[in-house]
Structure 1
Amino acid sequence: MRKIAITLMCSFVLLKGMAQQAPPNKQTHNFSLQDCINYAYEHQDSVKNAKLDILSADQKVRETKGQGLPQVNGSISFQDFLKAPATVGPNFLSGAPIDPNAPLIQFPFGAVKYNNTYAIQASQLLFSGTFLVGLQAVKTYKELSERNLNRSRIQTNIAVTKAYYQVLVSNEQVKLLDANINQLKQQVNETTQQNKQGFVEKIDVDRLNVQYNNLVTNRDNVQRALTLNYAMLKFQMGMPIGDELMLTDKLSDINLESAALENSVDTTFYRNRIEYQLLETNKKLNELDVKAKKADLLPSIAAVGGYSAVFQENHTRYLYNHMYPSSYIGLNINIPIFSGFQRDARVKQSQFEVQKSQNMLNNAKNGLTLQATAARVSFVNSLNSLNNQKRNQALANEVLRVSKIKYGQGVGSSLEVTQAQTALETSDNEYIQALYDALINKVNLDQAYGRIK
């Protein structure tokens, strides 16, 4: 029961800050496990944020493609020269030979007082190696966001499944406690009557009442924990805590035996793990970064053109009487020649990142294989423990049945019956713990082998 208690404590901490009154429009849901998972895919915030990341990646693709489309910019400027700049030079207006040693004079003409310019420039990228590599990179970036969504869905699936199983186990525990309470209540009533008739001592009745009260208290505690487990499940699903949720799946629907047989001989299962796939995508991005750094060595070519209109006058009322237009077209070619070996250094740095990515993939392969091996061992052990606890539970019921018969025939003691009852309660608790462990380890095994999508 220790693991269940720890789980409940963690659940309480998560839900402590989100207690709220049930909304007036609360809904009732009858959900299977798959229904809960599908609901979480639509309502869990982490999944919704991952979907928004994909939409953002789509816009990143558009942004990068836009670099290859025409770029058009316009500008407008207006200048009022409070003091016009002077134009100086040698005095050639006098007609006399120019004396290079003579002082310079200020000419009467210079910039006019008012200047209003309208201009438009356009450019079209014709060739750029970094742009072509960038198009590949943004597609891989989108692939990364899609895999991040898949990871969020897997994490949500795992969290919902474990919470769902916790509710099923708690319901099973309540049923076992109810059965024990009912049979113990019957025993208390029979023993009380026997005490009134003088056949048994008062201490026998008291001993049974102590057990009965402890069982009822335990049952009440489990029932409150069950309410918290339902709240935890709804939290993992992104469902309002005030909504009513009824589970339609049963423990008998879960085939634990078949889980140990799946993928038992698959040696490439690690490729199904989203963690490995994310590392593959990261390596691909690093390889594209190498290509982009190398593309910096290639020239880039762009077609350019522009048109401008200038209005100049010393008086505002005449400013727009005359327009002085200009226009141009041309090519801009940028040719990298030498950058002090900076580009070569950047390429080598990116190549080292690719090698590191490969090392991380190798390490992930070994780590995921180890994790799968450990998950299989834990699951098989928990499955064996569960089967053993089922046998112990059956034996404890049989011992209690025989003890009650012997006591009724006068050849056994009430203490023997009490001990048998205690043993049954212990076996029930150990069965519940073994059942919980087997279910959780099944989820861990499915995760380890990449079965959860």
Structure 2
Amino acid sequence: MKHKLYLFLFGLTLALPGFAQQKDTTANFSLQEAITYAQTHQVNILNAKIDEQIAINTVKKTIGIGLPQVSANASFQDFLKVPTSLLPGDFFGQPGTFVPVKFGVKYNSAIGLEASQLLFDGSYLVGLKASRTFKELSVKNTGRTKIETTVAVTKAYYSVLVSNEQLALIDANLERLKKSLSDTEQLFKNGFVEKIDVDRLSVLNNNLLTERENVIRLLALNVNLLKFQMGMTVGSTLTLKDKISDVKIDQAQVLADGQVYNKRIEYSLLQTQKKLNELDVKRYKSLFLPSLAAFGSTSANFQNDNFRNLYDNRFPTTVVGLRLSVPIISGGQKLYDLRNAKLESLKTDNNLVNLENVINLEVSQAQTTYLNGQKSLENQQRNMDLAKEVLRVTKIKYDQGVGSSLEVTTAETSLKEAQNNYINALYDMLINKVNLDQALGNINY
């Protein structure tokens, strides 16, 4: 038995840290898999789903107002001093005086049951509709959070891809530069070139090594940012399946205004808010109507001067009835509440018009930026290819003795600059693609 207990305690010790914090994992995700993971692990989405459950409970709570209400009560009283009343002395043959008389007994107890049922209340009926609309609003809020998470994960994923691409270009440059440096050092030893030729290439090589270290650190930072956006622990190991070549860069889409509005979650949210405001107006109008409720109660009273015999005699009471409440004067409060509700609804109409203009502007800006980014990326791609060709020709001339090392160094520097411009244009292009998809409402939940 001792051995079993030790094994149990040892196993419990190993298991407890897993309950205390999320366990680090190892994963290899494509972009879509990363988005899917984030949809079930990202804190903002988890909290949005909790808000959905709160909204569902709120709906059930509102429904419960119209269901039968039943309550029980019990009481016990010990009159240390029984209440005394003064009665005219005429009753006792003492006219013109008042005689003190004690009414009641020392011990009193009661047990009762009360029930009520709402039969008609206009504000309750409107509140039911509003609670369901509120639930719809919470679901759409979760959708908006999912879309925002998808955008954040996609941008972070693209940042890692761009950093990987930049690192690959630097590694290719280093490999080529190391060979050139080795060949030039050999030529220097044989007296065919000057030391300055070696020094120039050494400077380029050292700069590339430093740049590579910076990119590696930036890559690690981007990976951690991606983990954060996905809801993974920073200690987890994450690798990417996708490559830059897998990303499809299409021509910008052009949609009619109405189509864009209907696809944007923000517009849908505001339409739902408008429905809530309209229901709010109806609710305040319904407060001017009467309400009707049925009620009933039954109770048993016990009285005695002797505590032991308190519950020997029971005096029951039962009553049922209807309660009609008709509002007459409320100091104008309901009227002004109704006016304010109408004004809030008018504000929502204005916000819808403004949101349409905002969406139109966002789409126009996103499309323009996307098209400009396409042209810039194509141009930087051509410049990088030209820089590679210039470096290739320059090295051939240098190897044949008809070119200088300065020309080679300048060509290497130009290629590195062209590659950096290409990387920046590539990153901008990918981010612009995400922004355009978001503006057009193409990112769904």
- Count of residue pairs brought into register by the alignment: 424
Distance in 2 (alpha carbons) for counterparts of 1:198 and 1:118: 116
Alpha-carbon distance in structure 1 between the residues aligned to 2:258 and 2:173:
47
- 1:104 maps to 98
Q: Separation in 2 of the partners of 1:136 and 1:257?
A: 44
Match of 2:419 among 421, 428, 440: 428
TM (norm. structure 2) is 0.93
Instruction: Show structure 1 runs of 5+ residues with no match.
Output: 1-22
CA distance in 1, matches of 2:330, 2:413: 83
Please report how far the alpha carbon of residue 271 of structure 1 lies from its aligned counterpart in structure 2 after TM superposition: 2.5
- Give the one of 425, 441, 445 matched to 1:450: 441
- Indicate the SS of the match to 1:111: coil
1:351 aligns with 2:351: no
Q: Is the 8 A contact 1:162 1:440 kept in 2?
A: yes
Residue in structure 2 matched with residue 78 of structure 1 by the alignment = 76
- Opposite residue 53 of structure 1, the aligned amino acid is D
C-alpha distance after superposition, 1:390-417 (max 9, x if no partner): 0000000011011111111221111011
Task: Provide the rounded CA distance (Å) in 2 between the counterparts of 1:92 and 1:313.
Answer: 29
Identify the match of residue 203 of structure 1 among 180, 189, 196. 196
My pick for the range that moved more, 224-233 or 335-344, is 335-344
The answer (yes or no) to whether the contact 2:137–2:269 under 8 Å persists in 1 is yes
Pair 1:435–1:290, CA change in 2 (3 A) = same
Say whether residues 1:230 and 2:213 are aligned partners: no
* TM-score normalised per structure 1: 0.91
Q: Distance in 2 between the 1:434 and 1:413 partners?
A: 32
Give the CA deviation at 1:383. 1.3
User: What are the Cα deviations for residues 330-358 of structure 1, in whole angstroms up to 9, with x where unaligned?
Assistant: 00110112223322221111101100110
Could you tell me the percent identity over the aligned residues? Answer: 51
**303-312 or 407-416, larger mean C-alpha shift:** 407-416
Equivalent positions of 1:224-263 (< 5 A) are 224-258=217-251, 260=252, 262-263=253-254
1:307 partner amino acid:
T
> Per the alignment, in what secondary structure is the counterpart of residue 293 of structure 1?
helix
Q: Give the equivalent residue in structure 1 for 2:12.
A: none
| Alignment counterpart, residue 284 of structure 1, candidates 275, 278, 283 | 275
1:7-406 alignment, distance < 5 Å = 26-94=24-92, 102-107=96-101, 109-258=102-251, 260=252, 262-406=253-397
1:267 Cα shift? Answer: 4.4
Deviation at 1:249, TM superposition (A): 1.2
1:409 aligns with 2:400: yes
Partner of 1:256, secondary structure, is coil
Q: Secondary structure at the match of 1:93?
A: helix
Q: Which amino acid aligns with 1:419?
A: T
- In structure 2, stretches of 5+ residues that fail to align are 1-20
CA deviations on 1:165-198 (whole Å, 9 max, x unpaired) are 0000000000100111111111101111111111
CA RMSD of aligned residues (A): 1.5
Which whole-Å CA distance do the structure 1 matches of 2:408 and 2:125 have between them? Answer: 83
Query: Which residue identity is paired with 1:37?
Result: I
Deviation at 1:71, TM superposition (A): 0.3
Matched residues in 2 for 1:237 and 1:94: separation?
91
SS of residue matched to 1:106: strand
The Cα shift of 1:44 comes to 0.4
Q: Tell me the residue number matched to 1:4.
A: none
Checking the alignment, whether the CA contact within 8 Å between 2:227 and 2:234 is kept in structure 1 is: yes
Alpha-carbon offset, residue 268 of structure 1: 3.2
Structure 2 distance, partners of 1:412, 1:449, is 53
Residues 256-300 of structure 1: per-residue CA shift (max 9 Å, x gap): 124x1x244454302321111111111111111110000101111
